[in-house]
Amino acid sequence: MKGLSKWLGQIGIGGKSDDAISAEGPQPEHSPLFQEFLSTLCLNDRDKQFRSAARLVANHNYTESLDAYCRLQKLYPEKRSLCEIQVGMVFMYIEEYKRAFDSFLAAKVHGADEAESERRIWDACTGILSKNVSHQQKTECIDLYLRLFPNGKHLPEARALVQVGA
């Protein structure tokens, strides 16, 4: 699957390696919610840390939530797929569908639930299709979905989009 990320980057759908969650660095002035998140890092309470990161997303602190999930992924590599899904969701909220696609693909590669991976990747595909990207990029996105999920739930819709030329 590592080659898929490289392939995605070549066609402009991916952007980052599947070896790292992309996140902007910390901001000069942190919000109180991010300061709260940082304070949880010295605790040995993983659930509290993840709840604190989720509050950042819920409060639309997207840059800080990307930073939080990047830190959590480094602290808990076994939770990589969960962190990638959350990062992908942040990118969906800010309509960065190509980056969301890449994060959801990384989550799949790192063990995310197959049905959830399919749903999230399809959502990112439809987001990409809604953007002003080239016909080739749209077709390649759908083709990749078809390769990843040959018996997928969205198979008829994906095939129809390929036939009409996305």
Write down the pLDDT at residue 161.
81
- 141-158, pLDDT tens digit by residue? 899 999 999 999 999 998
Distance CA 87, CA 132 (A): 23
Answer for the pair 102, 15: CB distance below 8 angstroms, yes or no. yes
**Euclidean distance between CA atoms 58 and 40, whole angstroms:** 17
- Token pair for 13: 């759908």
Element (H, E) at 157: helix 155-164
Does residue 68 sit in helix, strand or coil? helix
Q: What is the DSSP string of 8-20?
A: HHHHTS--S-TTS
Please give the pLDDT value at position 148: 94
Can you tell me the distance from the alpha carbon of 142 to that of 36, in angstroms, rounded to the nearest whole number?
41
Cβ–Cβ under 8 Å, residues 141 and 129: yes
What's the longest Cα–Cα distance across the chain?
54
pLDDT value of residue 151: 93
Residue 10 has pLDDT above 60, yes or no: no
The domain locations on the chain are 2-164
CATH number of 2-164: 1.25.40.10
Task: Return the pLDDT at 166.
Answer: 55
What is the per-residue pLDDT across 52-108, written as a single tens digit (0 to 9) for each? Answer: 999 999 999 999 999 999 999 999 999 999 999 999 999 999 999 999 999 999 999
User: Could you tell me the pTM of the whole model?
Assistant: 0.79
